[in-house]
Structure 1
């Protein structure tokens, strides 16, 4: 499945994600550097072993991604959310998290992140669980459902 968003293409799926495109995003995010050639397949395997994933494309260049691990019933964790620095501030990260929340709207969502990303997640309805350290942000779908009168 794919959809358009602000001139970009968002693809849903965990298969056939090019390792070089993922590595490029991870380098830009500061998560990796100089990955040995024999280890580069991990960038494809992390997607294959994820529950859900979305990638964002500007022509043939992957400029954003999110991947999720979940039991698909009660809980899910955003493992990686990255938008290339040249495309930040355009709502891409918010769109990706929104697509994730739609997959399990009444479930508990978690994102382990650094403190400089807390305000981003708080804007999306997540609570910061430990504001003094790098930690977890949580979104409780059942609470949101109750507020909306669904429970």
Structure 2
């Protein structure tokens, strides 16, 4: 598997990550609260079942991640891009997204989308993403 290394930071595709470090990423981002009980089995399945799961490791510690859901033929959605708050504003998130884009394109994926959280518009626009006009994101409730 391809990896990208920069100043001790390694970004690589993985199928497993330390469960405690993985959960810490989601909690640090405010996506899961401490009282939200997630099983280790569930956490292990996320990287295993994602089409691509990129981990950003600093001295073997998981400090960031991003993943792609895809058929790995034509379409992909990037989601769950997160970097521990102590390591943000260093370009790590951009490295993760660009790493995923490159890996998807190598596999022939030609449509890559995502839904960004409020406040992330400039971040994703700087990476080449544009808001899709005349489209509305939906979620089954």
Taking structure 2 as the reference length, the TM-score comes to 0.83
| Runs of 4+ more than 3 Å apart | none
Alignment gaps of 5+ in structure 2: none
In structure 2, what is the equivalent of residue 89 of structure 1?
89
Q: Provide the C-alpha distance between the structure 1 equivalents of 2:93 and 2:114, rounded to a whole number of angstroms.
A: 13
**Aligned residues of 2:68 and 2:77 also touching (Cα < 8 A):** yes
Q: How does 1:3-22 map to 2 (within 5 A)?
A: 3-14=4-15, 16-22=16-22
- Give, in whole Å, the separation in 1 of the partners of 2:31 and 2:71: 26
CA contact (8 A) 1:78 1:109 kept: yes
The answer for the alignment partner of 1:147 in structure 2 is none
- Cα distance change of structure 1 residues 33 and 40 upon mapping to structure 2, 3 Å threshold: farther
Output the aligned Cα RMSD: 2.0
| 5+ long unaligned stretches in structure 1 | 137-151
Task: Determine if contact 2:14/2:54 at 8 Å carries over to the other structure.
Answer: yes
Write the mapping of 1:32-43 to structure 2, written as runs, cut at 5 A. Answer: 32-34=32-34, 35-36=36-37, 39-43=39-43
1:129 aligned to 2:137? Answer: no
Say which structure is richer in strand: 1
Between Structure 1 and Structure 2, how many residues are aligned?
Answer: 131
Instruction: Please tell me whether the aligned partners of residues 72 and 104 of structure 2 are also in contact (alpha carbons under 8 angstroms).
Output: yes
Could you tell me whether the CA contact under 8 Å between 2:70 and 2:77 is conserved in 1?
yes
